[in-house]
Amino acid sequence: MPDYEFRDRQKNERKAVTWEPFTAQHAIERVRIVLHFTQAIQPKQVSSLAALVEAKRAELELGPQTSTNTNVVELDASTGDARISKQPSGWSFSKTTSEGAAVEALLLNPQFLLYEAATYDHWESFWPRYNALTSDLRARIQSDINVRAVALEYLDRFRFEGDVGAAEPGLLVREPIVGSLPDSVRSGRELWHVHRGWFEGDEPRRYLVNQNFDAQSVQDSGGAEVRSIALATKVERQSATGDLDISSLPDDIEIMHTLSKRVVRDTLSDEMCKRVGLAE
C-alpha cells in the first residue's frame, strides 16, 4: 500500500503516515442495527419471533438457534412449595465461515432486537441482507410491540504500522478532536480516550450522535506491541412521544447511514478519507 505524507510543522520535514485501515478497502470492523423496545417483551413474544426466523433459517443460510432461558420461581399458595420453570428470555441465530469465523448474527432479548455484521463490503449489500433477515420480524414487532429507539452503529479500526511511541493521533484524526489532548498523547506516547455527542435535526426526525475514540495497545502474534484506534460512531433516533413507527425504518436507516458517513468524514484526515472511500 502506498504511504501518504504529512508535513511536520515544527521541524518542517516530511514524514510517512503509518495509520492503516482495518482492511485494504475500508476501516469497518462491525456494523449494527438495534431496535430498542419501549418495554420488555414477554416470553411468548420471544418464542413467536424466534419461530419466524426458524421458518426461513435454511433459506437465510443461518445456523441453528441458540436460546437463553430465565428461571422462574412460582410458589404454591396452599403448600408453600416452590416450582422452578425455565422460560425463554432470548435467542440468537448466526452465520459463520467454514473456519468458524463470525460473519453475522441476529439476536433478540426482552429489551431489543440486534443485527450485527462482522464482515462489511458495501451499504448496497448490507441493507438488502438486513431487510431479508428482519422484514418478517419487523412486521410482527410493528403490530404487537412498541419501539422507543432505533440505532445504527459503526465500529472502525485503524492500526499503527511502526513504533507505538510515535502513534500520533493527529496523523489520523482531525485537529479539533485531538487539539485539547495533552502533549504526551498528541506525540503518540500515551493511550487516550475521547467521547463526544450531540443532537442533529428537528422533530419528528431528531438524531442523537455519539462517537467514542479509544486508543488501544495489544500484542501481535509475535508478541510485539501494536497500537490501534477504535472509532465507534452511533446515530440513534428516539421518539419525543415515546414510540416510533418503524414502518419508516428504511428511510430512517438511510438518513442515519448518510449522517454517519458525514460524521466519520469530518473526523478523519483528508488522506485517510481517500483511503477508505469517504472523500467527497
Q: What is the pLDDT of residues 218-274, one digit of tens each?
A: 888 888 888 999 999 999 998 777 789 999 999 999 999 999 999 999 999 999 999
| DSSP character at residue 222 | T
Instruction: Name the nearest CA neighbour of 216 among 207, 225, 224.
Output: 225
pLDDT tens per residue across span 151-173: 999 999 999 988 888 999 999 99
pLDDT tens per residue across span 77-111: 666 677 777 777 899 999 999 898 889 999 999 99
SS3 77: coil
Q: What percent of the chain has pLDDT over 90?
A: 68
Neighbours of 49 (CB within 10 A): 21
Q: Quick check: 16 pLDDT over 70?
A: no
Which neighbouring-strand residues pair with 108?
91, 113
pLDDT tens per residue across span 202-220: 887 889 999 999 999 988 8
Instruction: Name the nearest CA neighbour of 48 among 131, 139, 116.
Output: 139
Q: What is the C-alpha separation between 117 and 124, in angstroms, rounded?
A: 14
Radius of gyration, CA atoms only, the chain? 23
Tell me the pTM: 0.86
pLDDT of residue 71: 66
